[in-house]
Amino acid sequence: MQTDSSFTFVLFGGTGDLSMRKILPALFEAHRAGGMLADSGKIVAVARHVADRAAYIDWVNEHVKPHVSKNGVDETAWASFLDRIEFVKIDLGNPEDFTLLRDALSGRPGIRVFYLATGPSLFVPICHALASVGLNENSRIVLEKPLGYDLKSSNAINDAVGEIFAEEQIYRIDHYLGKEPVQNLLALRFGNVLFEPLWRREWVESIQITIAEELGVEARGDFYDNTGALRDMVQNHLLQLLSIVAMEPPHSMDSDSVRDEKLRVLRALKPIDPRDIGKVAVRGQYHAGGIRGSAVPAYATEPGVKPDSTTETFVALKVEIENWRWAGVPFFLRTGKRLADRVAEIVVNFRAVPHSALGASALRGGANRLVIRLQPNETIRLYCLAKQPGEGMNLASVHLDLAFDRFFREGQMEAYQRLLLDVINGRLALFVRRDEQEAAWRWVEPILNEWAASNKPPKPYAAGTWGPAAASAMLAQHGTCWLEEEN
């Protein structure tokens, strides 16, 4: 990941929550590690609510510093990191202000990266303003989600941005793709002969992908009430994880080889007949309940949320892939807010043995499974059955455990750190290509349309539980259940 490439990293939304919690801390960690960022590389923050660089540095010290380095801040490294930061005050609604940015960037060597940590409504105006002052040449642009509200609006944004930046200049970020266990999933599958022969319908009974949150909508009620869990999490994060789990082996790890295989999975998703949505899709909304002993309010009473809102805060789906490898294997996707735990994981349930001379326990489903935990603790566990000590042939579940923090002495790289370095170094493999995004929207849209046309409200669930009972019932019809006991 080391680079000698000079760069200028321009951060739009420089005082926003994403910049404070993720982007600037990730850049600091890359700086602190040494050798990952060229010494000549600079960070140019863009905002309008700060007077000048001195005021911006004060803001960084107050708001960003608490989010860096879990084991404390190296003050020498922090001071040298602040030396990288410059500031340009711009009103994004005034294209003429972009001449100030052009002048600030004039004569700088190396690549320019424009990171749009803003609302999607500003993506196109910013791109037009950059082009008006000639800053779209020799540049890369990073777009945060959500990229549109549906297929039509997503295409409108992509069309407008694509008129200014070539596809190879556009980095559509999905931070789940930068997580260490997701990278290890690729290594596990394509670096080991042990697993790949089993990674198919003959040996896999079902696959679960869960992204569960304990948090509610926090201060994002206005945004979330017009978005919902299907747009916010399924169309991007969950379908991206699904495509990596199910993809065919690429011929190499270059950007288009990986993304071509992901696209084939997305295009092979079985279309959902609107008449069957009630059978394969569950939507819910959290009511008042408790999280870790503290009472939390219902979604409908959160600030910015309409009292009669029918926006879903929970989605569970049964997905099928119509190709040779996965025909007949159900993929179960689940995401929600105010659930019983914060966890993101992939569970591969292998089939039971066809005949057991060791008793019925060897025939139960889920005896062999692979659990890939993405958060909060990043691990990979392989479960199998072993004989319990003592008389008789009594079997018990045991597991092989790869806990990255114990196995690898060096610290893990956070997702945003990896992805930002990939942008600076021009590596596109972990970013979403336009045709991938279109395929995901095209598959999701019938569900969105059916829910919008339906008068049925989301199914209620108490905060602090695992969601509506209908989500468990959907799996029970296939003789399985959600994995919820792992901690």
The highest-confidence range among 232-236, 400-404, 452-456, by mean pLDDT, is 232-236
pLDDT over 90 percentage in the chain: 71
Global pTM reads 0.92
User: How far apart, in whole angstroms, are the C-alpha atoms of residue 323 and residue 269?
Assistant: 9
Q: CATH number of the domain that 58 lies in?
A: 3.40.50.720
User: How far apart, in whole angstroms, are the C-alpha atoms of residue 106 and residue 111?
Assistant: 12
- The mean pLDDT value for 434-443 works out to 96
In a domain, 170, yes or no: no
Is the alpha carbon torsion for 74, 75, 79, 82 positive or negative? positive
Spell out the residues 6+ positions from residue 364 whose beta carbon is closer than 8 angstroms to its own.
352
Helix spans in 65-137 (H): 75-84, 98-105, 123-132
User: How far apart, in whole angstroms, are the C-alpha atoms of residue 57 and residue 474?
Assistant: 52
Write down which residue in 128, 144, 160 finishes a domain. 144
In a domain, 278, yes or no: yes
Please provide residue 113's backbone torsions phi and psi, each rounded to the nearest 5 degrees. Answer: -115, 125
Residue 107 has pLDDT above 90, yes or no: no
Between 245 and 374, the higher pLDDT residue: 245
Q: What pLDDT does residue 241 have?
A: 95
The answer on 26 and 117 residing in a single domain is yes
Contact 161, 127 (CB under 8 A): yes
DSSP state of 356: -
Sheet-wide strand order for 281-287? 395-403, 379-387, 369-375, 343-350, 204-212, 331-336, 314-319, 281-287, 459-462
Q: What pLDDT does residue 38 have?
A: 92
Number of domains in the chain: 2
In a domain, 332, yes or no: yes
The answer on 347 and 240 residing in a single domain is yes
In a domain, 15, yes or no: yes
Write down which residue in 97, 126, 144 finishes a domain. 144
In a domain, 155, yes or no: no
Strands of 278-435 (E only): list them.
281-287, 289-291, 294-296, 314-319, 331-336, 343-350, 369-375, 379-387, 395-403
Q: What pLDDT does residue 411 have?
A: 66
Q: What pLDDT does residue 4 have?
A: 53
Lowest mean pLDDT among 179-188, 215-224, 359-368, 445-454: 359-368
Spell out the residues 6+ positions from residue 384 whose beta carbon is closer than 8 angstroms to its own.
367, 368, 397, 398, 399, 400
- Active site residue ranges: 237
Structural domain of 124 = 7-144
The answer on 438 and 308 residing in a single domain is yes
Q: What pLDDT does residue 1 have?
A: 45
Is the alpha carbon torsion for 173, 175, 179, 181 positive or negative? negative
The answer on 354 and 248 residing in a single domain is yes
The answer on 375 and 264 residing in a single domain is yes
pLDDT band at 352; cut points 50, 70, 90: confident
Q: CATH number of the domain that 231 lies in?
A: 3.30.360.10
pLDDT over 70 percentage in the chain: 95
Dump pLDDT digits (tens) for 170-213.
Answer: 999 999 899 888 888 888 889 888 888 899 999 999 999 999 99
The answer on 348 and 217 residing in a single domain is yes
Between 366 and 451, the higher pLDDT residue: 451
The answer on 243 and 110 residing in a single domain is no
Residue 356 has pLDDT above 50, yes or no: yes
DSSP state of 443: H
In a domain, 445, yes or no: yes
- The mean pLDDT value for 153-168 works out to 96
Residue-averaged pLDDT of the chain: 91
Residue 379 has pLDDT above 60, yes or no: yes
| Residue 2 Rama label (left phi>0; alpha psi -120 to 50; beta) | beta
Query: Distance of alpha carbon 127 from its chain centroid, rounded?
Result: 24
Contact 121, 92 (CB under 8 A): no
Looking at residue 24, its amino acid is L
Q: Is 67 exposed, middle or buried (0-12, 13-18, 19+ CB in 10 A)?
A: middle
Residue 438 has pLDDT above 60, yes or no: yes
Cis peptide before 146 (omega within 30 of 0): yes
The answer on 395 and 303 residing in a single domain is yes
Please name which of 92, 114, 100 lies closest in space to residue 53, comparing C-alpha atoms: 100
The answer on 223 and 118 residing in a single domain is no
Q: What pLDDT does residue 370 have?
A: 92
pLDDT band at 357; cut points 50, 70, 90: confident
| Residue 48 Rama label (left phi>0; alpha psi -120 to 50; beta) | alpha
In a domain, 169, yes or no: no
Q: What pLDDT does residue 431 have?
A: 95
Spell out the residues 6+ positions from residue 107 whose beta carbon is closer than 8 angstroms to its own.
none
The answer on 212 and 346 residing in a single domain is yes
The answer on 205 and 132 residing in a single domain is no
In a domain, 426, yes or no: no
The answer on 267 and 376 residing in a single domain is yes
Contact 424, 3 (CB under 8 A): yes
User: 277: which 2 tokens?
Assistant: 């949505």
Please provide residue 327's backbone torsions phi and psi, each rounded to the nearest 5 degrees. Answer: -55, 125
